Amino acid sequence: MSPKKDHEVSRMSDYINRLLYPGSADTLKHVVDVGSGQGYLSRALQNLGHHVLALDFNDIQTSGAERWKAKEAARRQKQLKKGKDAQSPPDLNHHCNDPLFQPHVPTSVPSASTASKNGRIVHSRIGSLTHQTICINPRTLESSIHDWLLSGEANQIAGSMIGDLLVGGGERDTPQEKPVPVMMVALHACGSLTPDVLRTFLSNHRRPSPPDVRIWTAQALVVVGCCYNLMAPEDFPLSRSLRERTPVATLPLASRHLAAQIPSQWLRNETCAREATLAIRKVVFRALLQPVLQVIGAGEASANHTAEELRGAGQTPENRRLGKLPNAAYKDWETFLDGATSKIGVRLDQSATQLPVYIHNERVRRQLESALSVLHVLRCIMGPLIESLILLDRHEWIREELSESSESPESNVMDVDLINLFDQATGSGRNVAIVIKPREWLNMI
């Protein structure tokens, strides 16, 4: 696991665990990790004593996660044979000086755990982990959770209780009294996966069906999104606050790409500075190349993407045809120009009289490079603002939906928060978690 991923998994699993214990660790034991990837977060939550359903659409990712799961099981078995404690808890105190991880956790914890002298939470229950590969959308997510709970995979001890479900010998039994409370989590859910997880939570939360016919209930959620450029057009704006404004707020693809920029971290160290310089140079060189491609007709063979189809996407048919180039191709302008024209298969000498003057005039070109660099940096500075707009839209949308499911906003039993969960200096650019929790749970911030 990379240091970045280790930081994210450690922070998120600790936050989730501390969020649960001020609530009710005995009743909420089931967590669904959506877009689980290699299963790092899933295994961390299992090790904390939770029953985890890990869902991913990529079978390669699921297979990799299963291999990690098998290795972890073998390691634990080896420790048991050596007489070591395979269930020793992770260190939950390594964030003890962080205000985010300073909830008023009671020293006496429910029966699912006990507290040691130094305040560390020691889990006595054993978690479980189930991996599934599905095409994730609100319908399949809902049904996967339903089937997982009824199958008994969420508790590997036959004849035991899963929430209020009695599972015996693998047989499917009917729900008893109350639906099973479930927490939904996602670490960097790409594109529209984040809105889909939110839709599933909200749909389950406001369902009018009687409790005795429901298998599970969405009780809490912690989701960190990413890849805003992959969002479906209908996923912004979501809130009435923005949809009813005139004119309606829109974010073209080029703007959503900017939402991933974190200029505050560009000069964090020498490596970051080099990477930022290269990224700016790529944009500038390709912008300078665009008039050249238009002159030599490089876009004529690009039948798959017309200029109208790419409008607002920050792309052109010519650049789509050029595609990606290796970093070495951006060493300097001459190297880039030679590599780009060679890849497309055109010769500049055939259109020399029509080419812009900066192609061979270094002074003019450097002036343009400087101006375009400044323009691009100014655009990137807007990136965090665009991400904030997307997050605030989702936050307001959730509040609107939760209010509609209650008799009045005052009677709404759920709180919605935006939490700065990760340190961006570690490389975790997308660091804000959307958190939904019962109002009676102790506040984490």
Q: What is the pLDDT of residues 251-277, one digit of tens each?
A: 988 899 999 899 999 999 999 999 999
Helices (runs of H) and strands (runs of E) counted in the chain = 12, 11
Region 140-144: mean pLDDT is: 95
Region 355-367: mean pLDDT is: 91
Q: Where are the alpha helices (DSSP H) in 134-269?
A: 138-151, 193-205, 240-243, 253-258
- What is the C-alpha to C-alpha distance for residues 412 and 406, in angstroms, rounded to an integer? 6
User: Over 90: is that where the pLDDT of 93 sits?
Assistant: no
Please list the residues that pair with 114 across neighbouring strands: 122
Q: Which residue has the tokens 């990137």?
A: 380
pLDDT for the residue numbered 408: 45
Region 42-65: mean pLDDT is: 83
Structure tokens given for 298: 């490089």
Tally of residues, the chain:
445
Query: Is-cis flag, bond preceding 438, omega within 30?
Result: no
- Name residues whose C-beta falls within 8 Å of residue 283's C-beta, 6 or more positions apart in sequence: 372, 376
Pick the closest to residue 223 from 390, 427, 29, 97 (CA basis). Answer: 390
User: Over 60: is that where the pLDDT of 110 sits?
Assistant: no
pLDDT for the residue numbered 60: 63
- What is the C-alpha to C-alpha distance for residues 445 and 435, in angstroms, rounded to an integer? 11
pLDDT for the residue numbered 206: 81
User: Over 60: is that where the pLDDT of 197 sits?
Assistant: yes
pLDDT for the residue numbered 160: 39
Higher-pLDDT residue of 107 and 58 is 58
User: Over 60: is that where the pLDDT of 172 sits?
Assistant: no
pLDDT for the residue numbered 159: 35
pLDDT for the residue numbered 165: 42
Region 369-378: mean pLDDT is: 97
Confidence of residue 30 (pLDDT cuts 50, 70, 90): very high
User: Over 50: is that where the pLDDT of 360 sits?
Assistant: yes
Higher-pLDDT residue of 253 and 307 is 253
pLDDT for the residue numbered 368: 96
pLDDT for the residue numbered 132: 93
pLDDT for the residue numbered 53: 96
Region 46-63: mean pLDDT is: 83
User: Over 90: is that where the pLDDT of 410 sits?
Assistant: no
pLDDT for the residue numbered 162: 41
Region 373-401: mean pLDDT is: 96
Higher-pLDDT residue of 381 and 77 is 381
pLDDT for the residue numbered 21: 76
Query: Which pTM value belongs to this model?
Result: 0.78
- What is the C-alpha to C-alpha distance for residues 140 and 146, in angstroms, rounded to an integer? 10
pLDDT for the residue numbered 380: 96
Lowest mean pLDDT among 174-178, 290-294, 300-304: 300-304
pLDDT for the residue numbered 355: 86
pLDDT for the residue numbered 209: 58
- What is the C-alpha to C-alpha distance for residues 436 and 235, in angstroms, rounded to an integer? 19
DSSP string, 151-187: HTTT--STTEEETTEEEBTTB---B-SSPEEEEEEEE
- What is the C-alpha to C-alpha distance for residues 91 and 51, in angstroms, rounded to an integer? 20
- Name residues whose C-beta falls within 8 Å of residue 85's C-beta, 6 or more positions apart in sequence: 79
Confidence of residue 441 (pLDDT cuts 50, 70, 90): confident
